[in-house]
Amino acid sequence: MMRRAMPWFVLSAVLVAALSMRGPIIAVTPVLPEITADLGLTGASAGMLTTAPVLMFAALTPLAALLIRRAGAETALLLSLCGVLAGTALRAIPGYAPMLAGMFVIGASITIGNVVIPVVIRRDVPPDRVATATAAYTATLNVGSLLTALGTVPLAELLGWSFALLAWGMITVLGVVLWSAHILRRRRALRDLPAGDASRRAGAVSIDPQTLTGPVPVIVERRMTGTMRRPIVWLLLASFSAQSAVYYAMSTWLPTILLDTTSVDAASAGALASIFQGAAIIGALMAPALMRVVGPVPSAVMMGGCFAVMVCGLLMNPSLAAVWASFGAVAHAAGFVLIFTALVRQARSDSEAATMSAVVQGGGYLFAATAAPALGALHESSGGWEIPLLVLLAVAVFYGVALTTAMVKAFGRS
């Protein structure tokens, strides 16, 4: 059988778009101390700046799936990128209110991209190249986070933090240009199709969990009662909630923790914190191999341990933050793979897979949205980072227990 060539233009457009699917959220964290001081924010208010997008993930994923059904994949991704660009411009307006509003817009727009990009990959990339394209997409998400974590402080020193955040919109502009060019090329190709090929001419997208390369989008079945009675659903929800809470709390506050507990400057703190994003690339790629070599249950125990090592390390010796952040990044990314591998394995039908994903993602992101404001409030009330980190350690231990139990339920004691 002849292998189809990789559609490089489509893949390039998707990867450039992926740079804007995490980076705009993470860009705020290296300059959060400056934002807090300039705007006179409390810890909880500052934490809301990275919490707002997570709330959108929780609330709008079902609506994003419906939008993609109606508008088609091409239009949906273009709307996603335009929305990220609009939110980036909005948060550059002086004041806390427009900044927070901009983060809500960014989160709502990224929600659409989260759902539609795996659909585009599976539809347009040859089946034997899907794994490669998906790995490239996953890695690029973390590259976007890495770039903004590393580059925001140097840009802020030159331009001020407001213009530094605005400057990252140039990547999104490039994504809009490339994706618009792809849409024009696709429309020209569709005009040349035979008149009877209506489905391809319409560019319709059927969002089916079996056609996705990542977590299934959430199109909820009408009868959820049977699904909600399954223990595996609650175990996966607990695992994803704890994992996401630790990730978003650390993504928000790690640069500030390093500034307060070590002698590094803001640029160095941002660079060290960027490891928490960059090392996630390794975790995502190693998870499938780890499951094959040692099994899902030992993998879950290891990931819980990695999260605990990260928090304990920051408590006892924050000067080695690069080491501890690497452990946490691997735990987050690999745990993500474990959770959704178990979800797909345990779902008894496509409809149930979608419902399980709705519960796990929606509930998990909703819980995670409380993490950054809560950690900021704890820091403010206690006057240090010891109590917030101890609370985070408890969440990390809970994550390890919940994930291990979920893997036993899904895969047996292998």
pLDDT above 80 (res 192): no
In this predicted structure, the answer to whether residue 48 has a pLDDT above a threshold of 80 is yes
Please give the structure tokens belonging to residue 306: 């990695």
- Minimum mean pLDDT range among 21-35, 62-76, 187-201: 187-201
Give dist(CA 89, CA 169) in Å, integer. Answer: 8
Contact 207, 219 (CB under 8 A): yes
Tell me what the mean pLDDT of segment 343-362 comes to. 69
CB 150 within 8 A of CB 271: yes
In whole angstroms, what is the distance from residue 150 CA to residue 160 CA?
15
Q: What is the pLDDT of residues 51-108, one digit of tens each?
A: 898 889 888 877 877 787 788 888 889 999 999 999 999 998 889 999 999 999 999 9
Query: In whole numbers, what is the pLDDT of the chain averaged over residues?
Result: 82
Q: Give the CB-side neighbour count of residue 162, counting CA atoms within 13 A.
A: 13
Instruction: Please give the pLDDT value at position 100.
Output: 94
Q: Which residues of 105-135 are buried (b: 16+ CB within 10 A; e: fewer)?
A: bbbbbbbbbbbbbbbbbbebbeeebbeebbe
Per-residue pLDDT band at 386 (split at 50, 70, 90)? very high
pLDDT at 369 over 70: yes
What local confidence, expressed as pLDDT, does residue 298 receive? 93
Distance CA(247)–CA(10), nearest Å, equals 31
Assess whether pLDDT exceeds 90 at residue 193. Answer: no
User: Tokens for 259?
Assistant: 């500034």
List of domains in the chain: 1-209 (1.20.1250.20), 220-414 (1.20.1250.20)
